[in-house]
Chains A and B, each alone.
Chain A
Amino acid sequence: MKIQKFKNSARMINAMALGVLFMSVPVIGFASGADYPPRGDFAKGAQTWADNCGRCHNIRAANELRDDQWISTAFHMRMRAGLTGQETRDVLTFLQGSNTSVKVSTTPSSSASVSTLSGKEVYGQTCVACHGANGAGNFPGVPNLTKKSGPLSKKDDALIKNIMGGFQSPGSPMAMPAKGGNPDLNKKDIEKTVEYMRKQFVK
């Protein structure tokens, strides 16, 4: 009799647990898939990518996969790394933004572009994610901008060319995408950013 009671109570506990899990589906509700996947924050994505991916495995470069492959990979990593949905979208935006597969122009226009951002603003919005607020690099392999023999030892022309077209430093886990992954930047913005970095990081 007691054994039967125990069996019944154990079954009830099991059934209740299963019920709670199943019922949580309609109670919590589905996230909307209308904007698939909604765009995240590029800079936050770079930071999340730098903070999390290297904890378990070597960091993979954005150009190792196509943009659509990064979608499944990012959602797979959401499950593995315990990322939130927002963090997943941020990382995805960063990886896809750094994975520019369509080269829009091979013959840059000679006309001057209008720049509305300061070098500090460009650095703070685009470069800081990987290079860090102090220029020393946010994760292994990112070149140290404060080093005498670092990237800022190059001449302006070479630096601007590298930033405009993208560049991979030796030992870096991934290439810096063209314009740091921000296609809205123009040459004037880059020039001002180089000037800002020299003032800020070259002692």
Chain B
Amino acid sequence: MNLKTKALVSAMGIALSGNVFAATEVEKLRADVEQLKKDVQAAGEWKEPSTIIHMSGYADVGYTSTENANDSFAVGTFAPIFHYQYRDLVMLESELDIKLKDDGSTEVVLEYLTIDLFLNDNIAFVAGKFLSPIGQFRQNLHPSWINKLPSPPPGFGHDGAAPVSEIGMQLRGGFPVGGVRSNYAVYVANGPELITEGDSPGNFELDGIDAEGKNSDIDNKKVFGGRFAILPITSLELGLSAATGKATVTSNEGTEVLGDELARDYDVLGFDFAWQQKGVTVRGEYVKTKVGDATTGVSASEGADWTTMYTQFAYKFLPSKFEAVARYTDFDSVGTSKDQKQWMLGVNYLITNSVIGKIAYEINDGETGAKADDDRLMFQLAYGF
């Protein structure tokens, strides 16, 4: 074999091996394309339609050992949240609050239902029953998978100092103020109703505020309110809330319906803050609700104040999944039996980012003999879905 033949054979060999290499690459590509076709076909059902239906929500179960009461297992809340969205224009949001009562029957409450119109990048128009924008706890922190402790701070529950929900209209959104982020909510709503206790005219006194949104406005006087918050640095949010309007007594000790009562002044003021840095979160809120006097009507009586404030500290022991939480709350109500100072200490284990096991101890200081004075040990398993 001469040199020319050797070179020719070598060249053919290289060409042949190149062809084999290319053929292998082509086969790989073919396999990839086939796989891609299958994946795209399978993913096709998730092409974005104009309407999206989505369900999320949360639920919790637990065990409570209460001083001076029987210990018990309990299902806390099952709260499905429904979203129906038309493109980026409109969203219907609704949360049901489904609870088991002590007798085993089920109670369903419409926690909120709103139709949100996204008017532009900075304003959304909200109509319906919405969580009160006063402060942070009711509108953002009450779901059990978000609340770092098994119970809400006293005064932020369903009959405390802070309003729970409203039925009306709201504008809300966010915008930058000279490089600082801010967010806001302003609303007009039917407002709350008032509850008295007493057994005869001249002997009544205010007992509570029924501050969950009502489908009627018995005094025909709306409540106006809102919240404005700024984030001077990205890790800190400072909020100021207020509401004003009229509220009227509609029931006595939660049962007797009264009529023709005088509409009283109703004013709410709140401050809140939240700061986070690495594994540390510190937050707090103050809410004061003031109801004025009524000089006429069956339930005529002096006005009253409800004040509550809490501060909460939480620390995540990264990279472990443990978190320690401490919270102090001071709730002043009109009835001394509801006044409460509370320390709550807890440890959480984050099973996943939204499934949390909690153990916490409430040290309660209230009127002797009252429920508000009983300490509690609580276990809770909360799932945000």
Q: Which residues of A contact B (CB under 8 A)?
A: 7, 10-11, 14, 17-18, 21, 24-25, 28-31, 33, 36-37, 51, 54-61, 64, 66-69, 71-73, 75-76, 78-87, 101-107, 109-111, 140-141, 169-173
Contacts and interface: CB of A to CB of B under 8 A. Distances in A.
Contacts of A10: 220-221
Q: Which 6 A-B pairs have the closest CB atoms?
A: A82-B183, A171-B319, A85-B121, A72-B54, A33-B87, A82-B174
B28 A36 contact: no
A107 B184 contact: no
A76 B319 CA distance: 29
A64 B54 contact: no
Residue of B87, B182, B321, B350 with most chain A CB atoms under a 10 A cut-off = B87
Given A31-B118, A73-B54, A140-B279, A56 B140 contact: yes
A102 B235 contact: no
Contacts of B281: 54-55
A84 B122 CA distance: 5
B66 to A, nearest CB: 28
Contacts of A75: 83, 85, 88, 91, 116, 118
Contacts of A141: 318-319
Interface residues on B, range: 35 or more
A171 B318 contact: yes
A87 B24 CA distance: 46
11 contacts: A33-B89, A58-B356, A68-B46, A68-B54, A79-B124, A81-B140, A82-B182, A82-B183, A85-B120, A107-B31, A109-B29
B38 to A, nearest CB: 10
B141 interface: yes
Contacts of B350: 58
B24 to A, nearest CB: 9
A187 B116 CA distance: 45
Contacts of B122: 84-85
Contacts of B136: 56
Contacts of B318: 140-141, 171
Contacts of A14: 188, 220-222
B234 A51 contact: yes
Residue of B31, B121, B126, B183 with most chain A CB atoms under a 10 A cut-off = B121
B370 interface: no
B222 A25 contact: no
B107 interface: no
Contact of B384 (A36, A57, A104, A111): A57
